[in-house]
């Protein structure tokens, strides 16, 4: 048996766009957030507060925040890598939740944020503390949890130990990210059950990239294993500037089609998402990876 509902975090404005070479206007980023809300998204990763030299697409983080619709029922998430980014996010007054990243391997942690894996765990705990001190919430995603672009296989024991260390800081959830899209459903089931056993009561969020076509299978396996939150991106855009060969996130509309048909509620509306895919394809001036938006409706509309 599996849960009949899960929560969705829409990550297109951040993870979806961060690797795009063409700079998307602030107005279009805000419009993307508005479309996500109209489609039912209630947690949205809106931007990241990183060095604009490292990620030029996110240079307008503060301006995006200024443009966000004022909504009591939507949680806006800002991704941050360090105390400086956390302070920037909190200074906007518009970010409800800080998202931190701890990376499973030293080589990827060094490439992604210039620190060791252990250093990234400590930084993530500090970010959670800053969020809490400001009356906000914090969550942590463990990057490269299923495999590393530089070091290869990542041991489950390492991820469990990181989750336990992070849990001490009181995050609202632990995210497990397949940053480079190498996971398979059996690995996903195994790791989630170990992490849930190690940090009982702490919700597990999953973040899959579809680099090798296993994204939706991994998500389904994660739901069966008890993950309660999933990241996905309208259109299936996405990638990581620091992970060679990383491709898009699982697409929100493909996820919602699958879950709707399987009887798992998300609160999101497929027709709005398909329209958002078509709008975003116009903005990006190319077809997007998501598949449902290219397919005929099923079942047939009356
Ligand atoms: Zn990602």
Tens-digit pLDDT profile for residues 3-55: 899 999 999 999 999 989 889 999 999 999 999 999 999 999 999 999 999 89
Can you give the residue range of the structural domain that contains 15?
7-294
Residue 134 lies in a domain: yes
**Domains held by the chain: number:** 1
299 CA → ligand 1 middle, Å: 31
Q: Helix H segments across 39-150?
A: 61-67, 83-91, 106-113, 117-133
246 CA → ligand 1 middle, Å: 9
Work out the pLDDT band at 302, boundaries 50, 70, 90: low
Residue 152 lies in a domain: yes
Note the pLDDT tens digit of each residue in 278-300: 999 999 999 999 999 999 999 98
Q: Which one has a higher pLDDT value, 3 or 163?
A: 163
Residue 53 lies in a domain: yes
CATH number for the domain spanning 241: value is 3.20.20.70
Question: Which pLDDT belongs to residue 164?
Answer: 98
300 CA → ligand 1 middle, Å: 33
User: d(Cα 212, Cα 181) in Å, to the nearest integer?
Assistant: 6
Question: Which pLDDT belongs to residue 247?
Answer: 84
Residue 301 lies in a domain: no
Q: Give the side-chain half-sphere CA count within 13 A for 133.
A: 11
Q: 227-241 burial, b if ≥16 CB within 10 A, otherwise e?
A: bbbbbbbbbbbbbbb
Residue 78 lies in a domain: yes
User: d(Cα 69, Cα 57) in Å, to the nearest integer?
Assistant: 21
Is the Cα torsion angle 217, 246, 153, 115 positive or negative in sign?
Answer: negative
Question: Which pLDDT belongs to residue 121?
Answer: 98
Work out the pLDDT band at 243, boundaries 50, 70, 90: confident
Question: Which pLDDT belongs to residue 1?
Answer: 73
Question: Which pLDDT belongs to residue 52?
Answer: 92
Q: Which one has a higher pLDDT value, 249 or 1?
A: 249
177 CA → ligand 1 middle, Å: 7
Asked if residues 216 and 250 have their Cβ atoms less than 8 Å apart, the reply is yes
Examine the pLDDT at 2 and tell me if it is beyond 90. no
3-state class of 7 per DSSP?
A: strand
Residue 219 lies in a domain: yes
249 CA → ligand 1 middle, Å: 6
Q: Is residue 240 flagged as an active site residue?
A: yes
Average pLDDT over residues 132-160: 97
Note the pLDDT tens digit of each residue in 57-99: 999 999 999 999 999 999 999 999 999 999 999 999 999 999 9
Beta strands, E only, 227-267: 229-232
User: d(Cα 95, Cα 242) in Å, to the nearest integer?
Assistant: 25
275 CA → ligand 1 middle, Å: 23
Examine the pLDDT at 124 and tell me if it is beyond 70. yes
Residue 253 lies in a domain: yes
Note the pLDDT tens digit of each residue in 168-212: 999 999 999 999 999 999 999 999 999 999 999 999 999 999 999
Residue 302 lies in a domain: no
Asked if residues 191 and 179 have their Cβ atoms less than 8 Å apart, the reply is no
240 CA → ligand 1 middle, Å: 6
Residue 63, phi then psi, degrees to nearest 5: -65, -40
């Amino acid at each position: 048996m599996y849960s009949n509902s899960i929560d969705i975090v829409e990550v297109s404005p951040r993870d979806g766009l961060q690797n795009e070479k063409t700079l998307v206007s602030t107005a279009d980023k805000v419009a993307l957030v508005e479309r996500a809300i109209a489609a039912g998204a209630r947690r949205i990763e809106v931007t990241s507060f990183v060095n604009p030299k490292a990620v030029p697409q996110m240079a307008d983080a503060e301006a995006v925040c200024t443009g966000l619709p004022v909504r009591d029922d939507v949680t806006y998430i800002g991704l941050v890598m360090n105390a400086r980014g956390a302070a920037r996010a909190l200074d906007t007054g518009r970010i409800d939740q800080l998202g931190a990243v701890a990376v499973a391997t030293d080589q990827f942690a060094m490439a992604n944020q210039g620190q060791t894996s252990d250093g990234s765990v400590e930084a993530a705990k500090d970010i959670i503390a800053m969020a809490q001190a400001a009356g906000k919430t914090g969550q942590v995603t463990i990057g490269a949890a299923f495999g590393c672009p530089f070091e290869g296989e990542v041991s489950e024991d390492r991820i469990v130990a990181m989750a336990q260390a992070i849990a001490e800081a009181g995050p609202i959830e632990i995210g497990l990210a397949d940053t480079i899209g190498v996971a398979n459903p059996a690995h996903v089931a195994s790791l989630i059950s170990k992490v849930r056993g190690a940090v009982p009561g702490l919700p597990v969020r999953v973040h899959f990239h579809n680099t090798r076509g296993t994204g939706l299978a991994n998500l389904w396996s994660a739901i069966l294993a008890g993950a309660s939150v999933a990241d996905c991106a309208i259109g299936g855009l996405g990638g990581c500037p620091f992970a060679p060969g990383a491709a898009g996130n699982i697409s929100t509309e493909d996820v919602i089609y699958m879950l709707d048909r399987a009887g798992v509620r998300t609160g999101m509306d497929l027709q709005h998402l398909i329209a958002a895919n078509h709008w975003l394809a116009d903005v990006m001036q190319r077809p997007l990876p998501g598949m449902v938006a290219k397919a005929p409706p099923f079942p047939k509309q009356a």
